[in-house]
Structure 1
Amino acid sequence: MPIGAQYLEVAAHLADVCRSCGRDPHDVKLIAVSKTVEAPRIQEAIDAGAHVFGENRPDQIMDRHARYPHEEWHFIGNVQSRRIKDIVPCAALIHSVYEEHHLARIERAAQEAGKVQDILIEVNVSGEESKGGAAPQEVPRLLRATEAFDHVRVRGLMTMAPQGDLDVAERCFADLRELRDRMRVEWDSPDAAFLSELSMGMSEDWERAVAQGATMVRIGRAIFSEDFA
């Protein structure tokens, strides 16, 4: 199936899942994860209506942002201190912030770029050693740390669930939503966008994430792979 048709199929299925959960499809953003995809295939997705993309390497987001500056680019990979200056000018949103010492570097890069950098705090809800992210109990400390910076804005939380068991994945998604809700009550921020986003769910488990309140799903293989079923 052509890339454009696959994108449209995923987008239509996402809308159906939202409606079945009693949610407005416009409240869930479909992020096309293009990290292993060549530029012509990205163009096919754009032609079909995709305008939000996720990249996990600095060189890739720099290249893609330069090629397609009118599209929305999210950084979803591991944040390295030395590459923050490259990521910030290109990223509408950084999904994977969890090291406190990165905040000052993001602040400086955002100030130099003349922007406020929106970020998500990555949370390792499952506790898997192989996954990055802050432990849930560390999130309040990170939120307090961001208050020192004028060019960093926390928009929400992100997690990656364990693969292979959809029920376990859904529990992780529910736990992230509950953590976000507790933090919003404790902070009582006047900013309506504060902690408004939940980035959770990928090609294998995004339906469960939507059921638990995801506002962003990160889908790559279901859009770009010919082998995904």
Structure 2
Amino acid sequence: MAMMEEKQAAALRQRFLEVRDRVRAAARASGRQEDAVALVAVSKTHPAEAVAELAALGHTLFGESYVQEALAKQEAVCSLMGGEAGRQVQWHFIGHLQSKKAKDVVGRFSLIHAVDSLKLAQNMQNRLAMLPVTQTGAPAGVQDVLIQVNIGREPQKSGVAIEDAASLAEDVAQMPLLRLQGFMCMPPFHCTGDMATPFFEHMRTIRDAVEHRLGMPLPHLSMGMSHDFEQAIAQGATLVRVGTDIFGTRDA
């Protein structure tokens, strides 16, 4: 497997281990098991070699935001690591997804974090229905998804409006080929550290209310990034999306 230059690789490994330890410590501090919170290493704009380096270290969960980059990187990581090892890597799509791109991502990511409209959900459902079926005649699989909520009510940011989150969740939950797993949010960028806590708390409250309304478990809250993931964990995050603190400043 082709790898990074050793000095770069050592620094990457050190940053990753420090973040992993912080995630585990935050989980313990909130009275939860260490494995209750999954670390999504956000590798967008970073090379496949960096992903392969962390995968060789035992970390297998990575997040991407740009469709074409993500699909190319999936192939590159499989090539670098070898087929079987490369297939152990799990990919989450965490970026804004245009409805017309639904066909490119369903079935290619273990979890899609940012469903934010009924049109997008319907396009995903329709595309999944076109995929091959098993010998039993059942669809080849379902797609796990989260609904992104615009928790800060920012006009420039993606995400369903807070007031519409429950109704969108109800619609998605009725689609047989989509499996609703919970919600994702991003507080306003300037609300770092403890300033983000009220937004995370609000997102958890919305999730709990929708669980009650639908009568089904919604186990995942994807919230918290490099500058606020510890606060997110304290408010119930199960998935934290960390890029900069692991990979360093990205190029784009």
Could you say which residue in structure 2 is the equivalent of 1:110? 128
> Among 185, 192, 207, which residue is 2:212 paired with?
185
Secondary structure of the corresponding residue to residue 213 of structure 2: helix
Give the CA deviation at 1:164: 2.9
Could you say which residue in structure 2 is the equivalent of 1:164? 190
Give the CA deviation at 1:11: 0.6
What letter is aligned with 1:218?
A: R
Q: Check conservation: 1:7, 1:48, Cα contact below 8 A.
A: no
> Among 200, 204, 219, which residue is 2:227 paired with?
204
Does residue 140 (structure 1) correspond to residue 166 (structure 2)? The answer is yes
Could you say which residue in structure 2 is the equivalent of 1:75? 93
Could you say which residue in structure 1 is the equivalent of 2:62? 53
* 1:184–1:226 distance in 2 versus 1, CA, 3 Å: closer
CA distance in 2, matches of 1:211, 1:19: 9
CA distance in 1, matches of 2:249, 2:160: 34
Q: Which of these two proteins has the greater Rg computed from alpha carbons?
A: 2
Could you say which residue in structure 2 is the equivalent of 1:101? 119
Q: Deviations over 1:74-102 (max 9, x none)?
A: 00111112211111121111100011111
Q: Check conservation: 1:201, 1:214, Cα contact below 8 A.
A: yes
TM value normalised by structure 2: 0.84
CA distance in 1, matches of 2:189, 2:246: 19
Q: Check conservation: 1:156, 1:180, Cα contact below 8 A.
A: yes
CA distance in 2, matches of 1:176, 1:147: 18
CA distance in 1, matches of 2:100, 2:39: 29
What letter is aligned with 2:40?
A: I
Q: Check conservation: 2:194, 2:228, Cα contact below 8 A.
A: no
Q: Check conservation: 1:15, 1:25, Cα contact below 8 A.
A: yes
Q: Deviations over 1:128-147 (max 9, x none)?
A: 11211011110121122124
Unaligned runs of 5+ in 1: none
Unaligned runs of 5+ in 2: 1-9, 79-86, 132-139
* 1:174–1:39 distance in 2 versus 1, CA, 3 Å: same
- Percent of pairs with identical residues: 34
What letter is aligned with 1:110?
A: L
* 1:226–1:48 distance in 2 versus 1, CA, 3 Å: farther
CA distance in 1, matches of 2:171, 2:249: 43
Give the CA deviation at 1:115: 1.5
Give the CA deviation at 1:163: 2.4
Give the CA deviation at 1:168: 2.9
Secondary structure of the corresponding residue to residue 16 of structure 1: helix
Give the CA deviation at 1:5: 1.9
Could you say which residue in structure 1 is the equivalent of 2:21? 12
Q: Check conservation: 1:120, 1:157, Cα contact below 8 A.
A: yes
Q: Check conservation: 1:4, 1:47, Cα contact below 8 A.
A: no
Q: How many residues align?
A: 223
CA distance in 2, matches of 1:186, 1:215: 21
CA distance in 2, matches of 1:111, 1:53: 26
CA distance in 2, matches of 1:163, 1:144: 29
Does residue 154 (structure 1) correspond to residue 172 (structure 2)? The answer is no
CA distance in 2, matches of 1:108, 1:226: 38
What letter is aligned with 1:157?
A: F
Give the CA deviation at 1:37: 0.5
Could you say which residue in structure 1 is the equivalent of 2:151? 125
Could you say which residue in structure 2 is the equivalent of 1:219? 242
What letter is aligned with 1:87?
A: V
